[in-house]
Amino acid sequence: MIGKMRLPMSKVSKKLHRLKSNKIFRDLCSETDFTKANFVQPLFVNEASGNKEEIIGLKDNFVMSLEDTLRQINDDISNGVSNFLLFISSKNKSLDSFNLSFHEKVISSIKDEFKDNINLWTDVCLCSLTDHGHCCLFDKDNSINIDKTLDEISKVVLTYAEAGADIIAPSDMMDGRTLKIREVLDGLNFSMIPIISYSTKFSSNFYGPFRNAADSTPLFGDRKQYQLDYRNKSEAIRASIRCAEEGADMLMVKPAMTSIDLIKDIKEKTNLMVGAYQVSGEYAGICLSEDKGLLNMEEALEETWHVMRRAEAQFIITYGARLAKKIGF
């Protein structure tokens, strides 16, 4: 009858405090640890960008020109970052015929400059290309035209691969895209480029700051027709299993905190590594709270990162990756 047990304090022998009395004990007992090698830093490059602008809510993150991006990567490397996730926006938006010349230039310039010192992850999605800001193409009745969408995604993948992308990271949540992308890559001698799929991606309020930065807010409706419903666990796991079956090399959940309960299940069911994306709204919540004097940002980041690791995330995509060294990783 544990609930009825009332030991006097002097008799309590199982003291959790005992192994917490100094930092050396606490570090000795730490069950989760990770290094800078596990972090991925997002970058926003915009063809229309003049001066480097800080993104609202995302401290130390900017929308940048290509030149500023190259300088930023250089700084980030000196802070121990070696994985970058690239989001590119060009001036021209279209309904269905996309001009990818800026994208090509950004990726090839970054790889020319930094070569194998970095791994360049490229987010693949149509939402920053379409004039309506959705991740897909529609038929006249506004239903998703999956074949046309996958064809356009394939063209983006091909451009990125030829320009030198190290990793293809599809974030669109279209049915069948991982299989299609694997076929495209293998068919063109890019069989060594891994696909790290955003495999469990919820339709979320926490993408708000990102959409300002990537210029990808949908002009109408929302993304509930193709992103996952946060009320559902089995569907969320199934989405990752599907990506694994279609040939993804690693998987990812996002937002991190609203999918923390899924990481271990997905890992066990697919035997693939699973990363977590601490999305813009999660990071902004921490930054803005610090601005109001409500918490310490670096400590709060460290806390969330350890929780992701405790949940067995293999890698963490975070807007704070460039702060990891300063924080002590």
Residues tagged active-site: 201, 254
The least CB distance from residue 130 to ligand PBG, in Å, is 11
Ranges assigned E (strand) in 156-310? 167-170, 200-201, 251-254, 274-277
Question: Strand 58-64 to strand 53-55: parallel, antiparallel, or no bridges (unpaired)?
Answer: antiparallel
Q: Is 171 in the site for ligand PBG (CB under 6 A)?
A: yes
Q: Is 125 in the site for ligand PBG (CB under 6 A)?
A: yes
Residues 217-236 interacting with ligand PBG (rule: CB under 6 A): 223
Q: Is 210 in the site for ligand PBG (CB under 6 A)?
A: yes
The DSSP element (H or E) to which 317 belongs, if any, is: strand 316-317
User: Closer to ligand PBG at the Cβ: 262 or 276?
Assistant: 276
User: Closer to ligand PBG at the Cβ: 131 or 186?
Assistant: 131
Cα–chain center distance at 9 = 47
User: Closer to ligand PBG at the Cβ: 12 or 95?
Assistant: 95
Q: Which residue is nearest to ligand PBG (CB)?
A: 210
The least CB distance from residue 127 to ligand PBG, in Å, is 5
The DSSP element (H or E) to which 153 belongs, if any, is: helix 146-163
Q: What is the DSSP letter of 145?
A: -
Q: What is the DSSP letter of 65?
A: -
- Which amino acid is residue 197, in one-letter code? S
Figure out which of the listed residues 280, 304, 314, 318 binds ligand PBG, where binding follows CB under 6 A: 280
Cα–chain center distance at 214 = 13
Looking at 109-117, 123-131, 188-196, 267-275, which segment touches ligand PBG (CB under 6 A)?
123-131
Q: Is 315 in the site for ligand PBG (CB under 6 A)?
A: no
* C-alpha distance from residue 127 to each of 19, 122, 259, 270 (Å): 50, 14, 23, 28
Q: Is 207 in the site for ligand PBG (CB under 6 A)?
A: yes
The least CB distance from residue 192 to ligand PBG, in Å, is 24
Give yes or no for a contact between 226 and 137, defined as CB atoms under 8 angstroms apart. no
Figure out which of the listed residues 129, 279, 300, 308 binds ligand PBG, where binding follows CB under 6 A: 279
Tell me how far apart the 2 most distant CA atoms of the chain are, in Å. Answer: 75
Cα distance between residue 329 and residue 317, in whole Å = 15
Figure out which of the listed residues 45, 55, 135, 263 binds ligand PBG, where binding follows CB under 6 A: 135
Q: Is 246 in the site for ligand PBG (CB under 6 A)?
A: no
User: Closer to ligand PBG at the Cβ: 190 or 207?
Assistant: 207
Figure out which of the listed residues 63, 81, 118, 127 binds ligand PBG, where binding follows CB under 6 A: 127
Structure tokens at 53: 């602008």
User: Closer to ligand PBG at the Cβ: 123 or 152?
Assistant: 123
End-to-end CA distance of the chain: 44
Residue 108 backbone dihedrals phi, psi, to 5 degrees:
-70, -35
Looking at 2-10, 27-35, 205-213, 264-272, which segment touches ligand PBG (CB under 6 A)?
205-213
Q: Which of 47, 39, 92, 57 is nearest to 283 (CA)?
A: 57
**Residue ranges that bind ligand PBG, judged by CB under 6 A:** 123, 125, 127, 135, 171, 207, 210-211, 223, 279-280
